[in-house]
Amino acid sequence: METVHIDELTFKLYLSEDQIVPEIKRVAQEIERDLSEDDPLFICILNGAYMFSSDLSKQFQKPYELSFAKYSSYSGLSSTGVLQEVMRPQADVKDRVVVILEDLIDSGFTLTEVVKLYKQRGAKDVKIAVMLSKPDAHKDCAVKPDYVGLEIPNDFIVGRGLDYCGRGRMYRDIYIKVDE
């Protein structure tokens, strides 16, 4: 599909699945190379990172532990500036190398707060793997992703786990908001 419509917004094709999957494979190889001796705990941040987490986890050659967490800091198109832990990971982060799997880093607020939280809970180290990064949006952020699939401009996107008001996550491709 070249365009999709969600509520009153129109989005056009931005990144195809064929462009995204090789970058996710590369990220998996980098993580495995760097952390193969650490028995890392991967934590998928729901809802957005479920596709990234699934695609990434299929690439690993060694056993791993995967848990899920859910945080909320967005309403519509923008951040609220308040992080809420909706669902805590079921696995204990204490004394573990934790790799946070996130769909996107834009402002960096959520990831900054989650890294702090896991360190307070005793994680040995916390790494960040993101499918997409908006470097212009998080240039002043305290945390930087350790592993990045693709860097993109600071535009609003949907698809491949990313949503607008809970809709649009199911697309295999990524679509960018069209200004009307």
Cβ atoms of residues 82 and 33 within 8 Å: no
- Of the chain, the end-to-end C-alpha distance in Å amounts to 19
Residue 4 CB burial class (10 angstroms; 0-12, 13-18, ≥19): middle
Is 106 among the residues known to form the active site? yes
Cβ atoms of residues 87 and 58 within 8 Å: no
Catalytic-role residue among 55, 103, 106, 173:
106
* Positions marked catalytic: 106
